[in-house]
Structure 1
């Protein structure tokens, strides 16, 4: 029994060094990777605050009646495109037409009376005071004709500008009364974003300033110019309304949801070139170059601008990072510059 134990111990002493030597033989050294590096830079950038807004037309109008009458013609439909001066609604106004006839008759009578008195004045058969009274009657009658003629003109409603009909509340045969909204139209070629800006940021917005606007439903991100800035804030919401003019795009429609980026406070951040940060799942990784080796570092990124990526956490200013040929690096792998 003692002889067998001794033999097993001798075999273990022989085999164990052999196993260790085999393990060392199957661990080849990592190759030296040729990479390009960059320095983590520190920049001062403004923070961006995002607010929401709604697209609306710069030119929009609610078409309402100014006289009472039966609607005789509505030659437009919902979505119709019209030009300036095109007929929108025609209202029958027989009462106003009758008033116009009466006013014209009084005007002609006042005109005849004035001519008669002027002739008598030349023959010294009338006084200057009588002529002056006839002139006043003539002016009143003329003004009455102009007034009724203007009222009759309100029976024909035309387009105040070129645009599209977005709402139709009237049909032929219905009664129109003063103040009743008949149509709504807008110029869909000139759109703007209306949004509310926090009172802490409104003083940083100026007319003519360029802001970035995103319309998710249209898949567009474009620059717009600030058109109007309210001089005061709403005490209830602590915001001030602004409008931003947009250039024409066929994908834009009034009522669409929009996001507007506003400049906020100035801050200092770290940046690395795009391509430095590698994604694996939800992890953001960077290789730091130190002692001629690549060292893996987990980071957290922020915004992207001008070919640079903001580093929120994980790096320090002045560190050297690998920005090219870094996709297949391994932590601790030797590196060298080209």
Structure 2
């Protein structure tokens, strides 16, 4: 091979490797990230607070005024002018009972009283004339008093044959019918005044000492979709040894959707414990995650942090993990905040 051919081959080989290498050395412009704008936010400190756990007990709505109507005498029911659901006013007739025997006893007592009074009057006139003794007058006076007592008793028994409404209300239970035999103590009707309601709850003995007359308690009535504030009206002084609970009555305001017998939940405060709390607005939902933006106090930028929350108490939320007391978190204008974004801080 000649020297010229050798040089030409070397140059050709160099060209094959050099030209592609030169093409690869072309420079491209570098892309630069756009800096995040400073965002004005409102911040608040993470704090430790003493909160009390909430314990719920169940109860039932009942009327403050309610009565079970029964008879004081024996007899056949001859009038029953009410039906289930009837609205009655105080003094309205509810039941009338046959009064034949009692009416006869009343007439007999009335006649005996009239005779005793005549005998007493005659004997007093004779005493003035000296024809009777003081002892005889005194004896007839006692007889007259006995006759008066017998007449009053018969009159009272006759009054018992007519039973009237003790207050205005609604007939909620009707057991008796016309023709039935009424007997002393036998239940005939039940009447309730639905204008004034209360909740009867069985409170565990461990919580009973924390409930006092006049306390305000939260009452949730799911059927009416209502949450009310009730006032404790009565607290039993002793607990039932079998159930270890005691009845507590809570007065609540009446409403068109409230009915006697409805189910209710009563909120009671349990024991207190210290926990980490932040303003509820600081917590954001990002998919299945709960995040909070914490302020980097040195660089004045936001740092996103995952948290796990617990119970909510009046606008504040419990933080189970993810934050420590003293952390500064963004609570306002944080919905569009990004990790690493500069902040213009305003304290809450």
TM-score, normalisation: structure 2 = 0.86
SS of 1:160's equivalent in the other structure is: coil
What does the per-residue CA deviation read over 1:103-156, in whole Å, with 9 as the maximum and x for residues that have no partner?
Answer: 111111111111121122122222211111111111111100100111110111
Pairs aligned (count): 331
Structure 2, unmatched stretches of 5+, are 1-11
Residue number in structure 2 paired with 1:220 = 226
SS of 1:275's equivalent in the other structure is: helix
Residue number in structure 1 paired with 2:326 = 318
Q: Which residue of the other structure, out of 318, 335, 343, is the alignment partner of 1:335?
A: 343
Structure 1, unmatched stretches of 5+, are none
What does 1:1-338 correspond to in 2, within 5 Å? 25=31, 29-290=35-296, 291=299, 292-305=301-314, 307-337=315-345
2:291/2:304 contact within 8 Å kept: no
Change (3 A) 1:209 1:145: same
Q: CA deviation at 1:30?
A: 4.5
1:202/1:240 contact within 8 Å kept: yes
Change (3 A) 1:33 1:294: farther
Tell which deviates more after alignment, 61-70 or 74-83. 74-83
Change (3 A) 1:272 1:124: same
Measured on the aligned residues, the alpha-carbon RMSD in Å equals: 2.7
1:74/1:171 contact within 8 Å kept: yes
SS of 1:253's equivalent in the other structure is: coil
TM-score, normalisation: structure 1 = 0.89
Q: Distance in 2 between matches of 1:46 and 1:259?
A: 18
Tell which deviates more after alignment, 125-134 or 275-284. 275-284
SS of 2:334's equivalent in the other structure is: coil
